């Protein structure tokens, strides 16, 4: 037998403001991402994910040394409208705000794909990040094969480039170029 509840008994889903989320996140031991008023706990990454992100961060940090740009690791949040995420790697070239807990004007955002986050990184985050007016490039790095997808803002819109084994990775937003294998150097033996 089916039982229907009257509309008046439907549960209300209470949402948080961005300000309330940021205050809560500052005190939380667990990291959460914020999407349109709802918070989602983050899960840890694999060893391969961590090594690729660390390699990319250290390579970019060396490249940016002496410039007005800074590379951030996954503990720095980025705000994209009504959403707040923790990108794996992010670069900002604006004024440094030493006590800030999030960045709102990055030029480059990198996500290392994993099975549990790939669809979200390719769809939801792609759209959210592209709404950030300062963002020039969004990069998706595979952890299961040597492949990097770059979305570059240009005229008339965004273009997509894929590079793989033997190619050179170009990040136009920060004038960076390297052999793609360099960011996979710690995991090359584990990739097929």
Q: Quickly state the pLDDT bin for 80 (edges 50, 70, 90).
A: very high
119-125 average pLDDT score: 95
Instruction: Answer yes or no: pTM beyond 0.85.
Output: yes
11-18 average pLDDT score: 71
Per-residue HEC secondary structure of the chain comes to CCCCCCHHHCCCCCCCCHHHHHHHHHHCCCCEEEECCEEEECCCCCHHHHHHHHHHHHHHHHHHCCCCCEEECCCCEEEECCEEECCCEEEECCCCCCCCCEECCEEEEEEECCCCCHHHHHCHHHHHHHCCCCCCEEEEECCCCCEEEEEEECCCCEEEEEEECCCEEEEHHHCEEEEHHHHHCCCHHHCC
Residue-averaged pLDDT of the chain = 90
70-85 average pLDDT score: 93
């Amino acid at each position: 037998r089916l039982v229907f509840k009257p509309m008046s008994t439907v549960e209300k889903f209470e949402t948080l403001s961005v300000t309330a989320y940021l205050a809560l996140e500052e005190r939380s031991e667990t990291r959460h991402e914020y999407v349109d008023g709802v918070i989602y706990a983050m899960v840890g990454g694999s060893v391969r994910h961590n090594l690729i992100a660390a390699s990319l961060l250290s390579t970019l940090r060396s490249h940016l040394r002496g410039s007005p740009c800074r590379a951030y690791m996954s503990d720095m949040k980025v705000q994209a409208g009504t959403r707040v995420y923790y990108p794996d790697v992010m670069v900002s070239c604006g004024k440094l705000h030493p006590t800030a807990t999030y960045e709102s004007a990055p030029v480059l955002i990198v996500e290392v794909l994993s099975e549990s986050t790939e669809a979200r990184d390719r769809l939801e985050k792609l759209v959210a990040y592209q709404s950030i007016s300062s963002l020039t490039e969004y990069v998706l790095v595979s952890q299961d094969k040597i492949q990097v997808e770059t979305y570059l803002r240009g005229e008339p819109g965004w273009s997509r480039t894929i590079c793989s084994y033997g190619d050179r990775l170009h990040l136009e937003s920060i004038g960076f170029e390297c052999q793609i294998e360099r960011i996979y150097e710690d995991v090359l033996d584990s990739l097929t």
